[in-house]
Amino acid sequence: MEPARRILIVDDEAQLLKMMRVYLQRLGYIVTVCDTTDDSMEDLALRILRANGGVRVLATSGYPVDMGILEAAAPGRVAFLHKPFPPERLADTLRRMLAAEKEV
């Protein structure tokens, strides 16, 4: 059996944050949530990606987001979901990102 994966979710919508946490915990993930973001989030994600080759970043937003800098820094390790999205899309995206890790 594979060890549980740790997921960090950052979102400013409390209800969506709760739904994602509960759903992913039911799928066996260890979930940490944070309900605040700021302009330095991209810098933080970039530093984390560069420091640890095993880290994946999944961003979600209801607004257009340019993920180009992160995708260039960590090809195949960054994904984006435009809100709203069904829970199944969240799970499928995570599975694809984690499966790509095994291929490397």
Q: Assign 92 a pLDDT band (cuts: 50, 70, 90).
A: very high
pLDDT in tens, 41-53: 777 788 888 888 8
What is the architecture, at CATH level 2, of domain 6-103? Answer: 3-Layer(aba) Sandwich (3.40)
Q: Is-above-0.85 flag for pTM?
A: no
**Structure tokens belonging to residue 65:** 């987001």
Domain segments of the chain: what residues?
Answer: 6-103
From the number of C-beta atoms within 10 Å of its C-beta (0-12, 13-18, 19+), residue 15 rates as exposed
Q: Are 10 and 59 in contact (CB under 8 A)?
A: no
